[in-house]
Structure 1
Amino acid sequence: MRKYFFFFLFSFLIDGFVSAQSREVLTIREYGTKNAGNIINEFAEFLSFPNVAANPAGQQQTAAFLMTMMSKRGIQKVQLLNASTAGAPPAVYGEVIVPGAKQTLIFYAHYDGQPVNPAQWAKGLDPFQPKLFSKAIDKGGLPIPFPTDGSYTNDWRIYARGAADDKAGVDAILNAYDAIRKSKLTPGCNLKFFFEGEEEAGSPHLNEILEKYRSLLQSDLWIICDGPVHQSGKKQIVFGVRGDTHLDLTVYASKRPLHSGHYGNWAPNPAMMLAKLLASMKDENGRVTIKGFYDDVIPLSPSERKALEEVPSVDTQMEKELGISAVEMQGVTLSEAINQPSLNINGMQSGNVGKMASNQIPTFATAVLDLRLVLGNDWKRQQQKVIDHIKAQGYYITDSEPTDNEREKYAKIIKVIPGQDGINAQRTSMDLPIIQKVIAAVKATSKEQIVLQPTMGGSLPLFLFEKYLNAKTVTVPIANHDNNQHAENENIRIGNLFDGIETMASLMLIK
């Protein structure tokens, strides 16, 4: 386990300078090497608790085990923070007050996970029975037993739901504090821990918890541990997240399915109508053509533009890894693309395909649109832009099944159901003094470049922390980029888990 530990130490000594924080990181690394067996055994037990919303009992067990993990590490005031709405999954809270500390950091991760379909997982895998593999399954990895001597290799992987998203984040945070405590080090700031229980459901009650416990949750900065490191394998710090909202669209035609021979070329086909409507929303270069779609975007600052220019390109790597030979927005890198608002088709359905296909004209066609937002966009306003575009294409818009009267009156009918749980984007300035300390702390854990990413491609409800607590946030992810989060065969690379412990510990040592 951690084969490069002594090389890392030797390299620093050759350089002739080892900062105080770097020396402390080496101490944390050595702790991880010596205690890998206990860390992994506890993590595997943590992963065994079903933590999906459809299993409230499993969620309760997960939260209870998490509280035990915190209490045995000497974390104080361990408690559940309940929303005002009865039955909502609670957040788990604890704190460590450091005498003389001048700053307070809150570490955030979530203990809930995405739903699972065990039939889609690789043969022999149970989403809640963690299994160790010699490497990634799709790279030929084979199942191996958890070693009894605590000796682990960085490229081994643990497969289980939540292994990466986000029990790895919870585990890294708690073991970082444990490593500091047992190594006789002292955190440089007050520490608070906040583990949410319904992030994967869109955090519908997070606002209630933040408002209800406003005084308890005061801090100088929230550190969010969720998501993957950069695709290059380098550690990254992310200063913002995109917002997100959805629209459900259903185009209607004939009241009953029709024989495509008897009525083809005469009766309107809703699948074709929907395809044309969706195609009208983007040009050939992937640019959204909806009026005003980009108008309210707040441009990146000079520091953010400079950071974006320095992000290592992984476009060729990802094209090969994903089996694609062209990208949607020509001349735009992946890092640039995720700093722009997007319109994505999550799925489409009309009639049947494959063995169930029949020669028919279907009665309806439906699609779900996913809108990712950047700073300046408002999710309701962005939805309305799409609705206005649909109207401009000649559609009559309804929010229910069309009546016979509406069918007689309008040639093009669409039902539009806007999502009611959208979230706006959030971004924290790189130039803040506390953020500069965060950058320095993460840099102390690696001799490689630390990627500074203005915006994460994914979405988190971080704007709520600004709205209810007037708080700043920064995201420091730890999972491997190919972790299959939200899908079958979710996994965490062992090296990423222990790198995450070091990173979180270095942040806790900020003064």
Structure 2
Amino acid sequence: MPQDVLAYIRHNRNELLARLNEFLSIPSISTDSAYKNHVNEAANFVANYLTEIGFETVEQIKTKGHPLVYASYNQAGADAPTVLLYGHYDVQPVDPLDQWESEPFKPEIRNDRLYARGASDDKGQVFMNLAVFEAYMKVNGKLPVNVKVCIEGEEEIGSENLYAVLETKKEQFQADFAVISDSGMVDTNQPTILYGLKGFTGIEVRVSGPSHDLHSGLYGGAVRNPLMALSHIVASMKNIDEVVTVDGFYDDVAPLTNEERELMRAVQGEDYVASTGANTVVSEIGYTAKEHTMARPTLEINGMYGGYQGEGTKTIIPATATAKITCRLVPGQDPEHIQQLLEEHINKVAPTGVTVEVIKEKLSAKAYKVEPTHPLITKAAKSYTKAFGKNTVYVRMGGSIPVVEWIDAIYKIPIVLLGFGTPDDRLHSPNESFPLTSFDKGMETLIYYWNEVTN
């Protein structure tokens, strides 16, 4: 019964927190080769814990980079569904270290928050799922569902080797649906169903003019300035109403339905002015900032540089200029097609006197969306509400999680994003933390969810 499993979680809370702290103490920074042994240590921690829980098969799949931990449990019965649980054990670097109020790999509780690198992203949330499996095994001697586990060590560096593993070992990872706890809620203690993610693509635009920087007094008016040319190009891509002016950009974008707009209006969400320091919000004409962020595509200049950057003035015409541009995409938009449209637009508007090169970002992802009325989603919402004591809200997120699109493309299964992070967790920043309420109520949600799925 769920109540017995809940009682186990509550009775053993201190022991579970201590075990999580052991996990968080491992500096599994995937991007820095100096931490390779620690990354392997974190993989070993996950594999050992899965073995202790009682998973029949546990292995570390070697990749060209860091190992992927796979495990399977098949004793729930032929009638029970099989879930693919995804997460990651690697973490971001801790720089700048001097801004941490406590050591990033020595977990510390302050004001009902657990502070450590990886506390929210994603060790804390991975551990909660495994701890719930432990509770079921200790209380009932079995899990309510069949489970396949995929915990990787390269999420923070773009999951470079994951797609190949999922594709080549498709039968090994095949499941009825997937659960991912690597996301969050719109506010602390506000249960949130994330039913959609944006896709992602990007380009780099390099503009070259003269063979070297020129004296602006001698050559200004005779030679095209690459920075001015680049400014013309990027300014032509979006108008003052935040509408992207690249031909064909919106061709495959489905209209936002009234039902979805109602769901979005029900979300309190953050105050963008207060949280960002901007003096006002801006959004695509005809849409609120919330609607634009959640459900409409965007185009942003992430960086633009060239010429003199130092103090004072240096009167030159720079030889080169560069801009980095990314787009967040919605269902229906293909990343490669969008890259092609951007390139065609740039070539069309590029002025004479310069050479323009477009470099297409290799890491792209399509958007993902599951219908909010899907039974697996409504059961998740019911479980959230029961654990947190509040009505669950439904959102789409402006961010991208490439593995979601990969699982969708390869396995064609529903994906349930059961995340428990909050806007105050400071992911990827100094003083990352995770609320203890999310730790407690998140595990309750998961227990309720497995009960809902099997009844």
State if a TM-score over 0.5 links the two structures. Answer: yes
Q: Is the 8 A contact 1:43 1:171 kept in 2?
A: yes
Shift of 1:220: 1.9
- Cα distance in structure 2, aligned partners of 1:284 and 1:102: 54
Kindly provide the CA deviation profile for residues 33-58 of structure 1, in whole angstroms up to 9, marking residues without a partner as x: 43333222222221222321333322
Superposed counterparts of 1:55-204, under 5 Å: 55=33, 56-82=36-62, 86-87=64-65, 89-95=67-73, 97-99=75-77, 101-114=79-92, 116=93, 118-119=95-96, 121-123=98-100, 125-127=102-104, 129-132=105-108, 134-135=110-111, 155-160=112-117, 162-184=118-140, 187-204=143-160
Confirm whether residue 318 of structure 1 aligns to residue 272 of structure 2: yes
- Cα distance in structure 1, aligned partners of 2:346 and 2:383: 49
Confirm whether residue 363 of structure 1 aligns to residue 319 of structure 2: yes
- Cα distance in structure 1, aligned partners of 2:100 and 2:126: 28
Counterpart in the other structure of 2:346: 390
Aligned pair partner of 2:18 in 41, 60, 65: 41
Shift of 1:179: 2.8
- Cα distance in structure 2, aligned partners of 1:461 and 1:249: 27
Shift of 1:232: 6.2
Q: Is the 8 A contact 1:307 1:454 kept in 2?
A: no
Confirm whether residue 491 of structure 1 aligns to residue 446 of structure 2: no
The one-letter amino acid paired with 2:235 is A
Q: Is the 8 A contact 2:25 2:107 kept in 1?
A: no
The one-letter amino acid paired with 1:326 is T
RMSD value, Cα: 2.7
Kindly provide the CA deviation profile for residues 225-279 of structure 1, in whole angstroms up to 9, marking residues without a partner as x: 1122114651211122211112111112222223344444554332232223212
Counterpart in the other structure of 2:360: 418
TM-score, L = length of structure 1: 0.80
Q: Is the 8 A contact 1:252 1:270 kept in 2?
A: yes
The one-letter amino acid paired with 1:271 is L
Shift of 1:112: 2.0
- Unpaired runs of at least 5, structure 2: none
Kindly provide the CA deviation profile for residues 116-155 of structure 1, in whole angstroms up to 9, marking residues without a partner as x: 253355156544x2342524xxxxxxxxxxxxxxxxxxx3
How many residues align structurally?
448
Range with bigger deviation, 433-442 or 167-176:
433-442
The one-letter amino acid paired with 1:71 is T
Change (3 A) 1:268 1:456: closer
Q: Is the 8 A contact 2:253 2:332 kept in 1?
A: yes
Shift of 1:455: 4.6
Counterpart in the other structure of 1:208: 164
- Cα distance in structure 2, aligned partners of 1:390 and 1:416: 8
- Cα distance in structure 1, aligned partners of 2:438 and 2:103: 22
Q: Is the 8 A contact 1:104 1:221 kept in 2?
A: yes
Counterpart in the other structure of 1:327: 281
- Cα distance in structure 2, aligned partners of 1:212 and 1:238: 29
Shift of 1:352: 4.0
Name the SS for the 1:384 alignment partner. Answer: helix
Q: Is the 8 A contact 1:168 1:479 kept in 2?
A: no
Shift of 1:95: 2.5
Name the SS for the 1:457 alignment partner. Answer: coil
Superposed counterparts of 1:197-346, under 5 Å: 197-231=153-187, 233-264=189-220, 266-300=222-256, 304-310=260-266, 312-315=267-270, 317-329=271-283, 331-346=287-302
Q: Percent identity?
A: 26
- Cα distance in structure 2, aligned partners of 1:208 and 1:264: 52
Shift of 1:303: 5.3
